[in-house]
Amino acid sequence: MTAAFDPRTPAAERCPSYYSATLNQETHYPTLQGTHQVDVVIIGGGFTGVASAVELAERGLKVAIVESHKIGWGATGRNGGQVTGSLSGDEAMRKQMRRHLGEEVDDFIWHLRWRGHQIIQQRVEKYAIACDLKHGHLHAAYKPSHLPGLRADYEEAVRRGMGDEVSLLDRAQVRGLLESELYHGAIKNTRNLHLHPLNLCIGEARAAESLGALIFEHSEVLEIVHGERPAVVTAQGRIDARQVLLAGDVYHKLEPKKLKGKIFPAMGGIVTTEPLGDLAKRLNPEDLAVYDCRFVLDYYRMTADGRLLFGGGANYSGKDSRDIASELRPCIERTFPALKGVGIDFQWSCAMGIVINRIPQLGKLSDNVWYCQGYSGHGVATTHIMGEIMAQALTGHLGHYDTFAACQHIRVPFGDQLGNPMLAAGMWYYQMLEKLR
């Protein structure tokens, strides 16, 4: 029997993943000791916290990041590494944000889809971050019933000026890009990206540090002190600040009176095969990242050293998997029959912060204590968008922040005890609908 997920459980320095095995450079930031003073202290050293720190430091603020484990320790350093224009909860956003934005809502959401790509590419270039950044992605139709939706997405992209970056492919054309008989069509998108997320995050942390940011690892925040001059307190230190940003996503238990029952862990599994040599080029000659159109989907890409990195089968119970490789091997072999019996060198889990309506949650816990969380499996691009929005808000520019903060969210009583069963039941329902499509 597997234990319920608890992000506070002590763990190794890093999750034993492909990403941690291929770091450009490990981090060795100090533990917080003594008292420090900054403009903004950020709780959480994942993409949200680090991206926000870069944005704020570039604006001239003195920033500190306080991380319980290591920079990029959580979902940031364990995900599929795909940067796509998909927004979880876009329809819910459109419905709720229309009250705030009126007829501009469609344009707002469309441009939001691609802002993360711009931020990441500009940051990688500006700070010379080596993270295996590549262009190219397929959104693939697992069933014929997925094709009308793909066609509608393609037509919108063309209408909005992306005709040179997207192609609508039939089954034979997909077969020319992937040695797989699984798909009935796809959108090929050359604006979308894939990368090594842990190397990106650590590179961004070093960029923030170069701009004067203080970074502390192995420093669990025990308390947020509210008031005119807020502070965060750890076992050995304290940071006083003008403002606090809580950016821990699903990996913390702080402020339960206001945040409990708003975000829930779903466990995703990822594996990486042994190096495939020339077979990697045969299976995926253009080195494209891929995910399919199902509610519970598979996603995969080739790594820089020619392995298949493959994820899927999210577990919405909040419990971790015992044998991810055994669960995902049939999916790999169904996708690529040539990989039957392939060796799997790495397997790991990733806790994703799921929000009931899938809209990222931005808000305030008090006048100068903010929070930002909940990307529902679409975090690489979205965290960078939210980092920019939170930096704007903390420096007095509230327009985009107010648009998100005005959204209504469901708060589930009894937190994870009821929330995760609700998520599991909801996903079962959608999977049943999927079978009928």
Query: 111 to each of 85, 115, 405, how far by Cα in Å?
Result: 9, 6, 18
Q: How buried is 215 (Cβ within 10 angstroms: 0-12 exposed, 13-18 middle, 19+ buried)?
A: buried
Q: Classify residue 399 by burial, with Cβ atoms within 10 Å: 0-12, 13-18, 19+.
A: exposed
pLDDT at 261: 87
Q: Is residue 48 part of a domain?
A: yes
Choose among 357, 398, 273, 293: nearest CA to 96: 357
Q: Are 265 and 375 in contact (CB under 8 A)?
A: no
Q: Give me the mean pLDDT over the 208-222 stretch.
A: 98
DSSP letters for 323-376:
-HHHHHHHHHHHH-GGGTT--EEEEEEEEEEE-TT---EEEEEETTEEEEE--T
Q: Which of the four pLDDT bands, split at 50, 70 and 90, describes residue 413? A: low
d(CA 382, CA 401): 14
CATH number at residue 401: 3.50.50.60
Per-residue model confidence (pLDDT) at position 429: 41
Instruction: Return the pLDDT at 86.
Output: 85
Q: What average pLDDT does the segment 213-219 reach?
A: 98
Q: Check: CB of residue 406 under 8 Å from CB of residue 96.
A: yes
Q: How confident is the model at residue 2 (pLDDT cuts 50, 70, 90)?
A: very low
Candidates 111, 267, 126, 272; CA nearest to 203 is 126
Q: What is the pLDDT of residues 161-191, one digit of tens each?
A: 999 999 999 999 999 999 999 999 999 999 9
For residue 355, what are its two tokens?
């929000």
Beta bridge partners of 243: 40
Residue 240, Cβ density class (10 Å: 0-12 exposed, 13-18 middle, ≥19 buried): middle
Alpha carbon separation from 236 to 63, 195, 220, 223 (Å, rounded): 19, 36, 10, 12
User: Residue 301 domain-assigned?
Assistant: no
Measured from the Cβ of residue 436, the count of other Cβ atoms closer than 10 Å reads 6
**Chain segment 283-337, per-residue pLDDT in tens:** 999 999 999 999 789 999 999 999 999 998 766 555 666 689 999 999 999 999 9
pLDDT value at residue 418: 52
Tokens of 316: 């919405």
Residue 121: inside a domain: no
Residue 285 lies in a domain: no
The domain of 218 spans 27-78+198-262+357-406
C-alpha span between 269 and 416 (Å, rounded):
20
| Whether pLDDT at 256 is above 60 | yes
What's the rounded Cα separation, in Å, for the pair 270 and 203? Answer: 23
Report how far apart, in Å, the C-alpha atoms of 401 and of each of 90, 338, 388, 404 are. Answer: 16, 48, 10, 5
Q: Which of 186, 199, 204, 381 is nearest to 303 (CA)?
A: 199
Reply yes or no on whether the pLDDT at 431 is more than 50: no
Q: Please, what is the average pLDDT of the chain?
A: 91
Model confidence at 52, in pLDDT bands (50, 70, 90)?
Answer: very high
Q: Is the pLDDT of residue 46 over 70?
A: yes
pLDDT class for 427, splitting at 50, 70, 90? very low
Residues 252, 49: Cα–Cα separation, whole Å: 13
- Residue the block writes with tokens 């034993």: 16
Quote the percentage of the chain above a pLDDT of 90: 80
The reply to whether 228 falls in a domain is yes
Nearest by Cα to 421 from 352, 356, 349: 356
* Structural domain total, the chain: 1
Q: What is the DSSP string of 283-322?
A: H-TT--EEEESSSS-EEEEE-TTSPEEEEEEEETTSBPPS
The reply to whether 325 falls in a domain is no
Q: Is 81 left (phi over 0), alpha (psi -120 to 50) or beta?
A: left
3-state SS string over 225-276? ECCCCCEEECCCEEEEEEEEEECCCCCCCCCHHHHCCCCEEEEEEEEEECCC
pLDDT above 80 (res 437): no
Cα–Cα distance, 22 to 200 (Å, whole number): 12
- pLDDT tens digits, 364-411: 999 999 999 999 888 999 999 999 999 999 999 999 999 999 999 988
CA–CA dist 290, 424 (Å, integer) = 25
Question: Is position 338 within any domain?
Answer: no
Three-state DSSP at 190 gives strand
